[in-house]
């Protein structure tokens, strides 16, 4: 189990959704993420740039059907950060649940 | 800082994560061309069985088995049904592969049983009739089974993720 580590970069709503999508896949096409999150190309590129500069994602350009396509994947660093962030979110909830239980008893 | 994050915010974030992961799982599938090809081959083998020398049927069955085992590992992973993403193998596991291969093995028995029934009632092309029925079962039942396996994978993710309802 990953050690809890709250990650400010991932926690921002749009980036959280992006990283959550990527976490379930080996790679995802740029267009799939854009359509799933209903973002513009430029808005998504900006978020990718932030995640890429932190070393959380890697992009790869491929030629498919004479069109340039971009595949995005979570790096091991990004996966570790995401797992740590999920563990931190669970820890917040567990702590609140424990407090609620102890105040009820 | 995590200290500034409320429980509601944390629950909402975990809910969003679960929804996005389920969105990827929805892409798990076996391409329709696979079912059409398997059904067509099944019918073809039935026709050969009734009309061709037995060595031809045996050779064709062997060829079908070889081609199928070459493509099945990739197609039946379920993770590469779309060109837009590849689902992580930890999520798909071997569930789709085992479900589909188990289904096909069961259908071999169904085909033989039906052929014997058609033969007993005096049908002139018992293997062809039996394989036509089974080909229809493949076309209808295959996608249905994969859908059921996909729903099970999603349910496992929900229960295994330990993500409380937002």
Confidence of residue B3 (pLDDT cuts 50, 70, 90): low
Domain that holds residue A77: 8-104
- Is the residue at A83 inside a domain? yes
Query: How far is residue B128's CA from residue B111's CA, in Å, rounded to a whole number?
Result: 10
A27 touches chain B (CB under 8 A): yes
Interface contact flag, B21 A23, Cβ < 8 Å: yes
Beta strand ranges found along B26-147 (DSSP E): 85-87
Statement: residue A65 has pLDDT above 80: no
- Is the residue at A2 inside a domain? no
- Is the residue at A100 inside a domain? yes
Interface contact flag, B2 A88, Cβ < 8 Å: yes
pLDDT in the model for residue A100: 83
Interface contact flag, A28 B23, Cβ < 8 Å: no
Least confident of A19-28, A63-72, B139-148: A63-72
pTM for this prediction: 0.79
Which of A4, A23, A24 to mutate to test binding with chain B, by most B CBs within 10 Å of its CB? A24
- Is the residue at A1 inside a domain? no
Q: Calculate mean pLDDT across residues B71-84.
A: 78
Q: Give ipTM to 2 decimals.
A: 0.88
Find the CATH number of the domain harbouring A64: 1.10.10.10
A64 touches chain B (CB under 8 A): yes
Q: Cβ neighbours of residue B107 under 8 Å, at least 6 residues apart?
A: B42, B134, B137, B138
CA distance A20 to chain B (A): 5
Interface contact flag, B1 A6, Cβ < 8 Å: yes
A86 touches chain B (CB under 8 A): yes
Could you give the C-alpha distances from A85 to A5, A77, A80, B6, in angstroms and in order?
5, 12, 9, 14
Which of A37, A92, A98, A103 to mutate to test binding with chain B, by most B CBs within 10 Å of its CB? A92
- Is the residue at A3 inside a domain? no
pLDDT digits (tens, 9 = 90+) for B152-164: 888 887 776 544 3
Pairing of strands B85-87, A67-74: unpaired
Find the chain B residues whose C-beta atoms sit closer than 8 A to any C-beta of A: 1-2, 5, 7, 10-11, 13-14, 16-21, 23-25, 79, 83-89, 91, 162, 164
Q: Calculate mean pLDDT across residues A98-103.
A: 84
pLDDT in the model for residue B163: 42
Question: How many domains would you assign to chain A?
Answer: 1
pLDDT digits (tens, 9 = 90+) for B88-130: 888 877 778 888 889 999 999 999 999 999 999 999 999 999 9
Query: How far is residue A6's CA from residue A52's CA, in Å, rounded to a whole number?
Result: 18
Interface contact flag, B84 A32, Cβ < 8 Å: yes
């Amino acid at each position: 189990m990953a050690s809890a580590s709250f990650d400010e970069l991932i926690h921002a709503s749009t980036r959280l959704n992006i990283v959550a999508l990527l976490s379930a896949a080996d790679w995802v096409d740029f267009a799939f993420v854009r359509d799933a999150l209903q973002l513009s190309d430029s808005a998504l590129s900006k978020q990718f740039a932030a995640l890429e500069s932190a070393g959380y994602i890697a992009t790869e350009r491929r030629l498919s059907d004479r069109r340039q396509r971009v595949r995005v994947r979570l790096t091991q660093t990004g996966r570790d950060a995401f797992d740590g962030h999920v563990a931190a979110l669970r820890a917040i909830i567990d702590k609140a649940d424990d407090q609620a239980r102890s105040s009820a008893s | 800082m995590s200290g500034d994050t409320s429980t509601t915010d944390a629950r909402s974030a975990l809910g969003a994560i679960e929804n996005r992961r389920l969105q990827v799982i929805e892409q798990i599938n076996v391409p329709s061309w696979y079912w059409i090809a398997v059904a067509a081959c099944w019918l073809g083998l039935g026709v050969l069985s009734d009309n061709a020398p037995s060595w031809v049927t045996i050779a064709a069955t062997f060829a079908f088995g070889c081609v199928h085992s070459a493509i099945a590992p990739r197609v039946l992973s379920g993770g590469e049904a779309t060109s837009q993403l590849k689902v992580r193998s930890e999520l798909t596991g071997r569930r789709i592969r085992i479900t589909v291969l188990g289904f096909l093995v069961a259908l071999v028995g169904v085909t033989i049983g039906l052929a014997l029934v058609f033969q007993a009632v005096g049908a002139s092309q018992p293997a062809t009739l039996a394989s036509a029925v089974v080909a229809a079962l493949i076309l209808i039942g295959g996608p249905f089974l994969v859908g059921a396996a996909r729903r099970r994978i999603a349910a496992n993710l929900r229960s295994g993720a330990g993500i409380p309802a937002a």
